[in-house]
Chains A and B, each alone.
Chain A
Amino acid sequence: QKEVEQNSGPLSVPEGAIASLNCTYSDRGSQSFFWYRQYSGKSPELIMSIYSNGDKEDGRFTAQLNKASQYVSLLIRDSQPSDSATYLCAQEGQNFVFGPGTRLSVLP
């Protein structure tokens, strides 16, 4: 059974701090990993994808992938209240498998 695990949170950080979201996965065969943001009552939207070991930066977001340890993380720098949402980690296998999501709350 392919699984993606995340801490459900809530993770609370003050405005301007770095938020660190983590995800572990069981399918070593996966090559592609994704982070989605889901605001309450809305559909998930893609934030970042990562395919290779190491870091990938896009604006305030940095995704990190470590295939040997089977984890993916998302760092959000200079967190803003508008970043408050649930963040879903996903891996591509035969089908996309999503984690349960981590709820992030950025406090003004």
Chain B
Amino acid sequence: SQTIHQWPATLVQPVGSPLSLECTVEGTSNPNLYWYRQAAGRGLQLLFYSVGIGQISSEVPQNLSASRPQDRQFILSSKKLLLSDSGFYLCAWSAEGRNTIYFGEGSWLTVV
């Protein structure tokens, strides 16, 4: 069966520091991968999605970036965090046919 893992689960970072969140999917090949952000009391905001290695589409211009160095690995990064980057970050995957989307456990980021 397919599983998705995301880490770290929680982190507190100072303003201006870098960020790296990592996500891996097991049990499937060539998945579509997504990064979402959910601010406190808000809905899910799609940040990036990827349909293959090195193929990244950005939905919202900001100081975040994403990379997909391997088929089942998706990384969210920032060189300098802002206070507004605080939130709940969710990695997700769907099969190549984009039928259903499944979420990882999520990462709570607090920028102080």
Known pairs A43-B90, A43-B106, A95-B49; A100 contacts B42 (CB<8 A)? yes
Q: How far is the CB of B30 from chain A (nearest CB, A)?
A: 17
- Which range holds the interface residue count of chain B? 10 to 19
What A residues does B42 contact at CB under 8 A?
Answer: 100
Report which of B44, B99, B100, B104 forms a contact with A98, defined as CB distance below 8 A. Answer: B44
Q: How far is the CB of A47 from chain B (nearest CB, A)?
A: 11
Looking across the interface, which residue of chain B has its beta carbon closest to that of A4?
A: B43
Known pairs A100-B43, A101-B43; A90 contacts B106 (CB<8 A)? no
Per the bound structure, the CA–CA distance linking A44 and B42 in Å amounts to: 13
Per-residue A-contact encoding for B86-112, CB less than 8 Å = 1, 0 else: 000010001000111111111010000
Report the tally of A-B residue pairs with Cβ distances under 8 A: 42
Q: Indicate whether B59 reaches chain A with its CB closer than 8 angstroms.
A: yes
Q: Which interface residue of A32, A43, A46 has the most chain B CB atoms within 10 A? A: A43
Residues of chain B touching chain A, judged by Cβ–Cβ distance below 8 Å, are 34, 42-44, 46, 49, 59, 90, 94, 98-106, 108
Known: A96-B101, A97-B46. 10 other contacts (CB 8 A): A32-B99, A32-B100, A34-B100, A42-B106, A43-B103, A44-B103, A46-B101, A46-B102, A49-B99, A96-B46
